[in-house]
Amino acid sequence: IMSSRTFFVGGNWKMNGDKKSLGDLITTLNTASLNDETEVVCGAPTVYLDFARSNLDARIGVAAQNCYKVAKGAFTGEISPVMIKDCGVEWVILGHSERRHVFGESDELIGQKVAHALESGLGVIACIGEKLEEREAGTTEEVVYAQTQAIADNVKDWSKVVLAYEPVWAIGTGKTASPEQAQEVHEKLREWMKANVSEAVADSVRIIYGGSVTGANCKELGSQNDVDGFLVGGASLKPEFVDIINARA
């Protein structure tokens, strides 16, 4: 039985694109036939948030790819949830593995960012996931539970949170967790939520999968009972993103 959770597909454009290429992508998305039962959100680079929100069809959401933990101040180069909202943008991606492992963000900082973004009224796509050596050492659950705990400690209202499980070893590597591997972790995360948050939240929260999702593998991944959508990297910049959005069509 498919759950009643609304399927959610996020596109993380990362540090890619310019007005020309993103404009072309936006035109493709605006004119495509998209499954209207799927929620779609595009994560644009900070400098293009306004551009993306002004040009994308209203049925497609926009996310910032990061933000800071306070509203304003002497934090050169950072942006705040209030600024994101001022651009008409409703979402932010927090805790992405690149923020954790390239830029050294701790579980604690990510938790603080989640708390402030939610207090400011943004929806949060909160990312968790283990590295290859952690999976090989058998500590996947330990790692993702600790990351999820740091997020959960900072959430009062789960209706504005989407949890994205992204095994770091599958991001941009062309390796994808098998549908069974993804389902296994998603199911365990839901059990963890049941035990540590509440049964109602465990049933309603969307847990989406990220890690080399493509037009070719999205249908099988999306058919898993506890996979409620995707956070898509490279493929979100290509026309096949439409196929991924329509994985459940």
- How many whole angstroms separate alpha carbon 144 and alpha carbon 129? 6
Distance, C-alpha 120 to centroid of its chain: 18
- Collapsing DSSP to helix, strand or coil, 29 comes out as helix
* Residue 106 CB burial class (10 angstroms; 0-12, 13-18, ≥19): exposed
Active site residue: 96, 98, 105, 134, which one?
96
Question: Among 98, 130, 166, 186, which one carries the catalytic annotation?
Answer: 166
133 is catalytic: no
Pair type for strands 7-12 and 38-43: parallel
Decide: 130 and 97 in contact? Cβ < 8 Å: no
* Spatial distance between the Cα atoms of 133 and 211, rounded to a whole number of angstroms: 16
Element of type H or E holding 58:
none
CA distance 39 to 206: 11
| Rounded-to-integer distance, Cα 146 and Cα 68, Å | 21
Q: How far is residue 110's CA from residue 94's CA, in Å, rounded to a whole number?
A: 7
Tokens of 16: 């890619």
Q: Residue 159 carries which side chain, given as an amino acid letter?
A: S
The reply to whether 116 belongs to the active site is no
**C-alpha–C-alpha distance, residues 61 and 43, integer Å:** 9
Hey, which residues are catalytic here?
Answer: 96, 166
